[in-house]
Chains A and B, each alone.
Chain A
Amino acid sequence: SQELEQSPQSLIVQEGKNLTINCTSSKTLYGLYWYKQKYGEGLIFLMMLQKGGEEKSHEKITAKLDEKKQQSSLHITASQPSHAGTYLCGAAHGSGNTGKLIFGQGTTLQVKP
C-alpha cells in the first residue's frame, strides 16, 4: 500500500548484529501494529503502538512510534536465526478504531549464522 512504506524491503544480517526496520505513513496514524510472518505461515502479532513517543519491547524486539513524523521503527538487538521472517507494519488511519487496517509491503529479514 502506498499509504504505508516500509524500508528496507529486504535485509541480510549476521547473527548477533542489530537492525532497524522503518514504517512511514502518508496519513495521520491512530494505531500502528507490527506483525511477523514465517514463510508459508500466518501472521503473528508482535505489538501495537498508539501514542506518540510510545515504546514497547518484547524479548529483543523494540518498537517506537514517532507521531509527528508519522513513523514507527522496529529494532532487533543481537539478532538470532529465529528472528528471520517477514515483518509487516499495519496502520489504522481513521480516527478511533474503524476496523480498517492497512499494511505496508513487508520487510524480509535473513539472519546468517
Chain B
Amino acid sequence: NAGVTQTPKFQVLKTGQSMTLQCAQDMNHEYMSWYRQDPGMGLRLIHYSVGAGITDQGEVPNGYNVSRSTTEDFPLRLLSAAPSQTSVYFCASSSPYRGNYGYTFGSGTRLTVV
C-alpha cells in the first residue's frame, strides 16, 4: 500500500532553474492537490485537480504549473525557481466516494532555492 508517493524528498535549486516535483497515488483517487507549507502559514493550496484533464488554481498558483494526464500522476512544475519558492511541498489525494476518510498526504518534498 504505497498511498501517495512524492519524489524527490529533498532538492536544492539555483534561482532560475526549472524542475518538476512528482506525485503519484495508487488508490484510484479522483482528487489530487498540491500544497506548500511555510512557517506560521499552515498549508496553502497551489493547484488542484478533480480528475484527469481537469485542473484549477488554488490560493497561491503563481510560478507553478500542473497537468493531470492520468488519474495516478499529478506533477508540479516550477518554470523558473525563485527564493520565495523555498518551502515544503505536499501532495494529497482523495475521492468524493471516500466518505469520512479524508485526504491522504504524501511525506513531502523539502525544496530550497538559493
CB within 8 Å of B: which residues of A? 1, 6, 9, 33, 35, 41-43, 45, 47-48, 50, 88, 90, 96-106
Contact = CB atoms under 8 A, between A and B. Distances in A.
Interface of B: 30-31, 33, 35, 40-45, 48-50, 56, 58-59, 90, 92, 94, 96, 100-108
A88 B49 CA distance: 22
Contact of B90 (A43, A98, A100): A43
A9 B50 CA distance: 31
Which of A41, A96, A99, A101: most chain B Cβ within 10 A? A99
A2 to B, nearest CB: 10
A100 B100 contact: no
B102 A106 contact: no
5 contacts: A1-B59, A43-B92, A102-B59, A103-B35, A103-B42
Given A9-B40, A33-B103, A99 B48 contact: yes
